[in-house]
Amino acid sequence: MTARIGVVTFPGSLDDRDTQRAIRLAGAEPVALWHKDKNLHQVDAVVLCGGFSYGDYLRAGAIARFSPVMEPLIEQAKAGLPVLGICNGFQILTEAHLLPGAMLGNDHLHFICRDQKLRVENADTAWTADYSAGQEIHIPLKNMDGRYVADAYTLDALEAEGRVAFRYLDVNPNGSLRDIAGITNEAGNVVGLMPHPEHAVEPLIGSGRTDGLPFFTSILKKLVNA
């Protein structure tokens, strides 16, 4: 039976179609979820894609966090449903308190769009198992509010528990504390990151690399072997 991975579209989402394509390329079935859906239609995993949900009013992700679809998503994520938040999706996950910390405006106050070098710090999550710890990859990055912040206690806990999933290499593009590009929850089923793996799944588009495809093959293998 084909794994079904939901992709939530909010008003202002930009990368839902790209994310659906990446899921399809990995061999799973993408399922379009609307922000007003009050259930997840029995999907096996969910991706919160990039964009500017609700125009990023108040704070990035602050309004989307209260969309009807988030109620079942939060409940099921706490029960083990795999959830990936990409860029705006990462912001939504912090607003929903599924991941700790917060996202602030880039320290240079400019929108940034670049091919970003990362190091995989945790290859044991539901979304990173097809990588190797310490592996260096290149993933496109595009954001205005990508600066990850948290108090020292939270940062120390993330480091000690191995919950920093990705770290920026060569350059910190937005001022994120401790060069953090992505994190995971304690169970490893919820992952958020600022760069866009869905834009690095085919050699003829985007960065010309396929470094982002393992996100989607990782979750497929986990679901198939569950």
Residue at 92: amino acid letter:
I
Active site residues: 87, 196, 198
Q: How far apart are the C-alpha atoms of 141 and 146, rounded to whole Å? A: 9
Q: How far apart are the C-alpha atoms of 35 and 206, rounded to whole Å? A: 27
The alpha helices in 30-169, defined as continuous H runs, are 70-78, 88-95, 152-160
Residue at 50: amino acid letter:
G
Q: How far apart are the C-alpha atoms of 207 and 125, rounded to whole Å? A: 24
Residue the block writes with tokens 């920026």: 168
Residue at 30: amino acid letter:
P
